[in-house]
């Protein structure tokens, strides 16, 4: 048992220490595609989206990336975008199935993969894409799915397999091991 706010804060701090950049108040609007490969995302500032269109003339911002991870949750927004463009050989993403915690935890990790060149699907986006069960208020599968997605992205970019050793996070007087 650990404090969830402390755990998430330390995970964010660890990601930033490793070089991740966080953008506050942004939404993903679209994908950047180059031939048959996802080459980044198109974002817009949330406050701009909330203003009347006749006031704003802010173009969205394209950010190029070697790999994009769709972790947009139940919406699986980026997967749906590719599906709308008929770029994925799948039926319409059905959304999550009914709650089945044990199976959902397992399938969330199993369904984490590169669904299209340059796009990895993870977490609830993965389960929503294939109609797998929702998991309820448990998050172990999502954490492991995110870790797997990061390892897949690293492998794709660097060209070598990542050894998954896990990482202990110090939380007050508790240690939490984030691993499979």
What are the tens digits of pLDDT across the range 8-50?
Answer: 899 999 999 999 888 899 999 999 999 999 999 999 998 888 8
Under a CB-based contact definition with an 8 Å cutoff, are residues 150 and 164 in contact?
A: no
Instruction: Give residue 54's pLDDT band: very low, low, confident or very high (50, 70, 90).
Output: confident
User: How far, in Å, CA of 19 to CA of 25, rounded?
Assistant: 20
Q: What is residue 106's DSSP assignment?
A: H
Q: What is the predicted pLDDT for the residue at 2?
A: 81
Q: What predicted TM-score, i.e. pTM, was given to this entire model?
A: 0.84
pLDDT at 175: 41
Q: How confident is the model at residue 165 (pLDDT cuts 50, 70, 90)?
A: very low
CATH of domain 66-178: 3.50.50.60
**Domain locations along the chain:** 66-178
Q: Cα dist. 150→3, 99, 119, 153, 179 in Å?
A: 24, 26, 12, 5, 13
* Contact criterion met (CB below 8 Å) for 61 and 42: yes
Interval 75-126: pLDDT, tens: 999 999 999 999 998 888 889 999 999 999 999 999 999 999 999 999 999 9
Would you state the pLDDT for residue 1?
A: 74
Please state which of the ranges 15-19, 89-93, 135-139, 175-179 shows the lowest mean pLDDT: 175-179
């Amino acid at each position: 048992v650990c404090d969830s706010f402390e755990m998430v804060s330390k995970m964010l701090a660890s990601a930033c220490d490793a070089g991740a950049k966080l953008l506050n108040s942004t939404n993903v609007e679209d994908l950047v595609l180059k031939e048959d490969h996802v080459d980044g995302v198109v974002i817009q500032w949330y406050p701009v989206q909330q203003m009347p269109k006749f006031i704003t003339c802010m173009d969205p911002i394209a950010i190029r990336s070697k790999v994009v991870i769709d972790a947009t949750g139940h919406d699986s927004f980026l997967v749906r975008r590719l599906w709308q463009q008929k770029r994925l050989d799948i039926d319409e993403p059905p959304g999550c199935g009914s709650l089945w915690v044990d199976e959902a935890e397992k399938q969330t990790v199993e369904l984490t993969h590169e669904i299209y060149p340059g796009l990895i699907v993870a977490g609830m986006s993965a389960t929503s894409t294939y109609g797998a069960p929702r998991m309820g208020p448990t998050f172990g599968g999502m954490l492991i799915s995110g870790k797997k997605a990061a390892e897949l992205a690293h492998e794709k970019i660097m060209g070598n397999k990542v050894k998954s050793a896990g990482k202990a996070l110090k939380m007050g007087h508790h240690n939490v091991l984030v691993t499979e």
